[in-house]
Amino acid sequence: MAATAHNAKVMNRFELTKRLVAQLKRDEAVIGGIGNANFDLWVSGQRPQNFYMLGSMGLTIPIAFGVALAQPDRHVVALEGDGSLLMQLGCLSTIAMQAPKNLTVVVWDNGMYQITGGQPTASQATTDLVGVARACGLSNSAWAADEDEFDTLVANALRGGPTFIAARIDDKPGVGTTDRDPVQIRERFMKGLGVRK
Amino acid sequence: MLSVPGGQWLALPTSKIFTRSKAFRMTETTPAPWHEIVRERLKANEVKLVPYVPDRVFTPLIKALHADDYFTTVPCTREEEAIGIVAGAWMGGLHAAVLMQTSGFGTIPNALASLVLPSQIPALIFVSERGTLGEFNLGQAMVCRTMRPVLESLGIEHHTITRHDELAFIVDRSIKQAIATQAPVTFILSPLLTGGKVFAA
């Protein structure tokens, strides 16, 4: 039986990020959302197929979807926070309608706008983001009950999607910070995707 | 045939409607409608992906893009979502244009200023101009006043297209410039070109 938000284990974003990256064996692209999703992705190892957002809160999933459309043979993973997703919930409907097989969305849900001072998000009390994703039409949506199930959900997602995975996480801040040179980040990403030589 | 540059219009075969009466028979060709020119220039520049938020005036263009297998069309829930898709697609090697109306442009300055411009993404932005030349909705008229000041303040190249005979040239050259210089461009399609939306009393 799949976990619900209520009984999913509270895990750690950096630990889960490392677990996810460890499963990427085929140069999968990863889009890191602004703030801590990005920071933990950065410290997990700066793969050339990683893109680190510096602004445009809420656009992690649309950017990932754009990459997925451009490169249908490459799997793309979006790492997004609960606050950012709540800002752009409509993108879940768009993705569900288009149903890209090569897209996985991972949401780190700590129930707060952590980077701005820990103000509560709607997911802390009332909004179940997996329920939202399912209702938008992403039938393959689940809470990760614990670390092992997170690994299994990611492994299944990389075989074909679209998939929506949510993980409850603690209030630990990101373990580092990204460089903040957007042209360098974008150029390195394009080389990592084989678009640039 | 389309000649760019040179100002010759994209031409389609004479429509049968003109053959019913000798008085209206056209001996040469009928200029293609504006939306056919846009579609053709997108294709000529290998712009294959078009995320959009619907607009009444753009409806014939949107229908034509949906009907053409060359294009992947993605209806979006919000304009900045479409901007995000364009950015991701370009980084993945796929050129994309986004369609919206004036009020939609009012929702994307943050995406332009914090993603498109700093990352040097050649986003091709087509705006159906509302809020002028017969606008009946004050909300549209007010948001229209914000569009060009925002574009100016961000230093984004923009063209207001009013003339049918300049459309192909402006679109074609500006797409090429955007890609070559890795900078966004905005095409504001005036009611003078498209006919706009008029108040139905």
pTM: 0.92
The answer to whether B84 touches B99, Cβ cutoff 8 Å, is: no
Superfamily of domain B32-194: Thiamin diphosphate (ThDP)-binding fold, Pyr/PP domains (3.40.50.970)
The answer to whether B185 touches B125, Cβ cutoff 8 Å, is: yes
Residue with tokens 């700093």: B118
Q: Is residue A2 part of a domain?
A: no
pLDDT in tens, A42-72: 999 999 999 999 999 999 999 999 999 999 9
CATH number (domain holding residue A122): 3.40.50.970
Number of structural domains found in chain A: 1
Q: pLDDT confidence of B197, banded at 50, 70, 90? A: confident
Tell me: pLDDT of A96 over 90. yes
CB contact under 8 A, A193 and B77: no
CB contact under 8 A, A66 and B81: no
Q: How far is CA A24 from CA A50, A60, A161, A163, A180, in A?
A: 11, 19, 15, 16, 24
Determine which of A60, A63, A97 to mutate to test the interface with B (most B C-beta atoms within 10 Å): A63
CB contact under 8 A, B91 and A189: yes
Residue with tokens 């005979």: B165
Tell me: pLDDT of B13 over 60. no
Provide, as residue numbers in chain A, all residues whose Cβ is less than 8 Å from the Cβ of B113: 55
Q: Where along chain B do its domains lie?
A: 32-194
Provide, as residue numbers in chain B, all residues whose Cβ is less than 8 Å from the Cβ of A54: 114-115, 118
Range of the domain at A90: 13-192
Q: Is residue A4 part of a domain?
A: no
CB contact under 8 A, A71 and B114: no
Please give the ipTM for the structure prediction.
0.97
Q: If you count residue pairs, one on A and one on B, with CB atoms under 8 Å apart, how many are there?
A: 126
Q: pLDDT confidence of A3, banded at 50, 70, 90? A: low
CB contact under 8 A, B89 and A69: yes
Measured CA to CA, the distance from residue B31 to residue B18 in angstroms comes to: 13
Q: Is residue A171 part of a domain?
A: yes
